[in-house]
A and B are shown apart, each in its own frame.
Chain A
Amino acid sequence: MSPLLAAQNEWAYVAGGYGVTVGALLLLTVATIVRGRRVSRQLPPEERRWL
């Protein structure tokens, strides 16, 4: 394999690693925010102690 091809191959793995990490953390963040809104909506505002 030529050095250029090897470097491209390495970058594909790097992109995969960063994609998985950023994607999973983004998914967790969005899920936390959406579920947080859904659950706290059912709670009376006086019980939302963070407000």
Chain B
Amino acid sequence: MRPHLDTPAGTDAGGSTGLFRLHPDGTASRGSRTYGLVVLAGVILFLLVALVFSPADTGSENQMGDMVRIMYVHVPVAVACYVAFLVTAITSIAYLWKRTEGWDVLAVASAEIGVVFTFLTLATGSIWGHIAWGTWWEWDARLTSTLVLFIMYLGYLALRGAILDPVVRAKRAAILGVVAFVNVPIVHYSVTWWRGLHQDATVSKVDPSIDGLKLFALMFGMVLAVALYGWLMIHRFRLHYAAARLEASGLDRALAERRAEARPDAVTADAASTDAVPTDAVTTEGTLS
């Protein structure tokens, strides 16, 4: 009998209740649940700061008004997508070096989250652009390079889905995970290298163009986005780890069944060969094994 069936309703194996109650089949642990609740509280606080407490932008040269609030999510999700793809690149290199499954699982978990954050970067940027520039999309260097980044990592995930052999899949995906990361610095420095509609860096310079509660909302958003990425990584890593274990056990089972199917033939071949030429039996058994 599985352990969770012995626990009373409404409690986990450790006896926790309420928000700390863990699902017996879930990917949560006590630590990840606490972490998740802290992030959730942070999200609520962030929404209050970003939408209620922080003032509209009226003092700066850009005069963005209430539209400045879009920046408090646009910049943080962009930072989180950089972090996600950096982790994919590092873990891909680690996989190519060590060839252990855990690095590959980390790489795919991070890439999936990165793709969602990149989509949100494009979506929130497009919404901001519609009111600031009067267009949903412009083939500006930053926007175009971000779209290319998004498509490259979609390709990374498609490649993983297209290869059945886990070892070949991990190796090819790791190579693409490293190559695709080259685009991240291009995205980041595109506003410096090519002049376009997109504004320059707002925070990553010595004298940021915003201050006070607006700067706090932006920085808080960035910390929160990276924290949320961390929480998602924990759960997606465990999910992919479980899927990889199931895939491996399925392959083991298939191999065992194949050997079981082959064994009676080998016995028959052995029995037949003892009456004939002994070397045939060795050849047949060798072929079967």
CA distance A39 to B27 in the complex (A): 9
Query: C-beta contact mask, A8-51 vs B, less than 8 Å → 1, else 0?
Result: 01110110111011101100110011011101111101011111
- Any A CB within 8 A of the CB of B116: yes
In the complex, chain A residues whose CB is within 8 Å of the CB of B243 = 39
B246 to A: closest C-beta gap in Å: 6
Pairwise interchain contact B245-A47, C-beta atoms closer than 8 A:
yes
Pairwise interchain contact B29-A50, C-beta atoms closer than 8 A:
yes
Pairwise interchain contact B70-A17, C-beta atoms closer than 8 A:
yes
- Could you name 5 residue pairs across A and B whose Cβ atoms are closer than 8 Å? A7-B66, A14-B51, A28-B232, A37-B26, A50-B238
B207 to A: closest C-beta gap in Å: 27
- Any A CB within 8 A of the CB of B120: yes
B65 to A: closest C-beta gap in Å: 6
Pairwise interchain contact A7-B65, C-beta atoms closer than 8 A:
yes
Given contacts A36-B242, A37-B27, 10 further A-B contacts (CB under 8 A): A7-B65, A9-B131, A14-B67, A17-B73, A20-B124, A28-B232, A32-B235, A40-B27, A43-B246, A48-B242
Query: C-beta contact mask, B1-32 vs A, less than 8 Å → 1, else 0?
Result: 01110000000010000000001011111001
Known: A21-B124, A28-B113. A13 touches B67 (CB 8 A): yes
- Any A CB within 8 A of the CB of B130: yes
Q: Pick from B50, B228, B242: contact of A25, CB below 8 A.
A: B228
Pairwise interchain contact A17-B124, C-beta atoms closer than 8 A:
yes
Known: A13-B130, A37-B27. A18 touches B51 (CB 8 A): yes
Among B23, B120, B130, the most chain A Cβ lie within 10 Å of the Cβ of: B120
Pairwise interchain contact B70-A51, C-beta atoms closer than 8 A:
no
The range of chain A's interface size is: 20 to 34
Q: Pick from A32, A49, A50: contact of B232, CB below 8 A.
A: A32
Pairwise interchain contact A11-B66, C-beta atoms closer than 8 A:
yes
- Any A CB within 8 A of the CB of B254: no
Q: Spell out A's residues near B (CB within 8 Å).
A: 6-7, 9-11, 13-14, 16-18, 20-22, 24-25, 28-29, 32-33, 35-37, 39-43, 45, 47-51
Pairwise interchain contact A45-B65, C-beta atoms closer than 8 A:
no
CA distance A25 to B127 in the complex (A): 17
- Any A CB within 8 A of the CB of B123: yes
B165 to A: closest C-beta gap in Å: 20
Query: C-beta contact mask, B25-52 vs A, less than 8 Å → 1, else 0?
Result: 1111100100000000001000100110
Pairwise interchain contact B131-A37, C-beta atoms closer than 8 A:
no
B192 to A: closest C-beta gap in Å: 25
A8 to B: closest C-beta gap in Å: 10
- Any A CB within 8 A of the CB of B137: no
Pairwise interchain contact A25-B116, C-beta atoms closer than 8 A:
yes
CA distance A7 to B269 in the complex (A): 86
In the complex, chain B residues whose CB is within 8 Å of the CB of A14 = 51, 66-67, 69-70
Known: A17-B128, A39-B246, A43-B245. A10 touches B236 (CB 8 A): no
CA distance A7 to B73 in the complex (A): 19
